[in-house]
A and B are shown apart, each in its own frame.
Chain A
Amino acid sequence: GAGVSQSPSNKVTEKGKDVELRCDPISGHTALYWYRQSLGQGLEFLIYFQGNSAPDKSGLPSDRFSAERTGGSVSTLTIQRTQQEDSAVYLCASSLAGQGRGYTFGSGTRLTVV
């Protein structure tokens, strides 16, 4: 596609429920990233996928968070047993490997845990 697409754009869920957030990167971009942006804060790195390499999961805040990327394209971020502190905007970005000029971000999924 022309840009990075994320769905849903907004998600309200009850505490304790599982949620799945989806990211469709730009076609041909081999690198995909997930970041989290809490209200009034900067972006917090969560996970990075590059081609067929093992993902860098060093930013995932707990074992309730997981992500996968199927076929080197679409990625899903899953949060199990959601907590109120998980409320944030989850941003996905993609880039060409080695491009070195930053990412192209999606518009994010705003997650609210009530």
Chain B
Amino acid sequence: GESVGLHLPTLSVQEGDNSIINCAYSNSASDYFIWYKQESGKGPQFIIDIRSNMDKRQGQRVTVLLNKTVKHLSLQIAATQPGDSAVYFCAESFTSGTYKYIFGTGTRLKVLA
């Protein structure tokens, strides 16, 4: 969903369920993407990345899917835990390994006990 004003889109998930967080990126020339997790009062933390020559990459409990046709990125979290509660950002860059990233507005994930 789109953020409006001060309100981040929020995804509420039951503990143990899988979470899917979506991101629409802006530039079809972007070739490198990162997902970040930001807990309250902390800076964003790297979760997983993917290059444009891939459409799927898996990490520990996380999977990133890339659909270049519709400029869409998703983050799947398996067996969501309370510690996964945070704001999740996607970031894109135009040249692999470049320093400048464009960040999305973020999605707040709430894990319900």
CB pair A40–B8 under 8 Å, yes or no, is yes
Total A-B residue pairs with C-beta atoms closer than 8 Å? 62
Of the candidates A48, A98, A105, A107, which one forms a contact with B100 in the assembled complex, judged by CB atoms under 8 Å apart? A48
CB pair A39–B6 under 8 Å, yes or no, is yes
Identify the A interface with B (CB < 8 A).
4, 31, 33, 35, 39-45, 48, 50, 56, 91, 93, 95, 98-108
- A102: chain B residues at CB < 8 Å are 34, 36, 46, 49, 91, 101
Identify the B interface with A (CB < 8 A).
3, 5-8, 32, 34, 36, 41-46, 49, 89, 91, 96-97, 99-106
CB pair A107–B101 under 8 Å, yes or no, is no
In this complex, the member of B5, B42, B43, B45 whose beta carbon has the largest number of chain A beta carbons within 10 angstroms is B43
- B41: chain A residues at CB < 8 Å are 107
CB pair A105–B44 under 8 Å, yes or no, is yes
